[in-house]
Amino acid sequence: MRSTATLWRTIPLIERLLAHSRRRWRNLGELQSDPDCNNGIDDDGNGFIDDCWGYNFAENSGGSNLMGSDWHGTHVAGIVAADTDNGRGVSGTAWKASLMTLTCFGTSRSGGFEQSIVYAADNGAAISQK
Ligand SMILES: [Ca+2]
Ligand SMILES: [Ca+2]
Ligand SMILES: [Ca+2]
């Protein structure tokens, strides 16, 4: 039987999701020196500029807006991490999880699928479980 304990870990969404959510994973190494997440510097030295909330691998960009080409990731984010027992909308399947935004379907191009999985693993997200 599968353990549900890992469902409350950080889960990478290899798409994109709402720009602001309290369920968002955050990169404190970047945000502590760049709270507005727009200085154009790789503050934590991990190879990604302004990756405060995740990264847009399709268009090789960070910052606070990681929106891509459609709303599918936002829909999936709700399925995964919507608050439970609050009388609003749905309950997520992993409602204590934080979500890491990794855009691979950008506004002008797609790509970076493999790199996004490596990034997620390097930053503690649950990639798979047994
Ligand atoms: Ca960085
Ligand atoms: Ca920065
Ligand atoms: Ca709800």
Considering every ligand atom, which ligand is closest to the CA of 64? Answer: 2
pLDDT at 17 exceeding the cut of 70:
no
Considering every ligand atom, which ligand is closest to the CA of 83? Answer: 3
**Rg of the chain's alpha carbons, rounded to an integer?**
14
pLDDT given at position 86: 83
Q: Where do the domains of the chain lie? A: 1-130
> How many alpha carbons lie under 13 Å from residue 66 in its C-beta half-sphere?
36
Over pLDDT 90: what percentage of the chain? 41
Dist. CA 95 → ligand 3 center (Å): 9
Give the sign of the dihedral formed by CA 17, CA 111, CA 12, CA 125.
negative
| pTM of this structure | 0.80
Closest by CA to 62, choosing from 34, 90, 88, 84, is 34
pLDDT given at position 30: 95
Considering every ligand atom, which ligand is closest to the CA of 46? Answer: 1
Dist. CA 11 → ligand 2 center (Å): 23
- CATH pick for 1-130 out of 3.30.300.30, 3.30.70.580, 1.10.10.10, 3.40.50.200: 3.40.50.200
